[in-house]
Chain A
Amino acid sequence: MKKLLSILLFTCLTVSGFSQSFYTETGTAIFYSKVPLHNFSGTSNSLIGLINFDDSTVDFYIDLETLDTKNAKRDKDMKLTLDTENYPYGEFFGKLTSEFDLESTAEQEVMVEGVFKIHGKEKEIIVEGTLRRDGENLYLKAGWILLLEDYEIVPPQILFIKVDQEQEIEINATLTIKE
């Protein structure tokens, strides 16, 4: 009986106490809308994310209210379009599908598959990026193209609004070992 309990305790501690997971609350997420004469981008420096190498889960989200396009009026229109009152998060939850050598300090290409959710709609996506381990830090760079229509996001249809259907998403984050 004691042996069984020891095994269980060890298993649980291995899973939750000594897991190889990295966490951030200060990552950067940027989107680029590229239409000639109407280029703009929005940035949030409040990307929250967790990468757990034990179960290969990758979990990231931002509060969409933190997105800043450097134009308060455009920010307001964007938040109305995204309906941030009802759907406050842009979020990804998935799994690492490529190998990553935690012992190496070299930049390694990685791939994750999972679900991205925004505006109350979700879609399975594959994201490619790079990870680099340096001591307690894990540096992440990733990006993908988001199609507004996939998430039923319809920009206001009026005179001067020009928003690209294809939004380029860029993620940069430094994650640290989660105790």
Chain B
Amino acid sequence: MNLALFILSIILMAFNLVWIISFTPMVPDQEWAQKIFYLHVPLAWVGFLSYFVVMLSGVSYLGSRNLKHDRLGHASAEIGTLFTGLVLITGPIWATPIWGKPWVWEPRLITTLILFLIYVGYFILRNVGLYRQRVALICAIVGIIAFLNIPIIFASVNFWAAEIQSHPQMGMSKQPSGILAPFLFSLFAFTNLFFTMLFFKIRVLYSKDKKDNYV
């Protein structure tokens, strides 16, 4: 099952890459830089999805105190943090030629950075040497609280005054035709990759817990 999912992920990502490079339209003024959008936005989406899974598994852990929910949360948080980190790297790569500078202190960037830093804290907590069940309990609570930041990131372009926003808005209708289909496909390919990574990481964590006699 996992191997089939892994092979499917490779095929989807290869197809995704070919589509992005060869068959997506060039946007005037941005040219190749705009194609970063096909990586950047799906990465952000998967990052948010994984933090949603962390929140759900946190709630499940608090209800059941079963370590399998903690493993799910841990696996999802790791992938989410990797992807959010990639969002924070690919964003400035796009912004350097388009905005003329890699970073501006505007709401969506700041709230995303805060989310990333909260999860850096989450992994520090996981490694401070508390006993296993205590770590699981604290991380479940942190995972639930950290998720509150996600709606703030989504709404950040509306929360604060328009003049301090330099972020492109979400209106896909303003984009040239031919962008939507590859964008949705890229979302699908990255979501599939997320589930592949998630199942694999859960297996790694299960195996570690088994070795440490927690299972």
Do A and B assemble together? Answer: no
Binding site for A on B (CB under 8 A): none
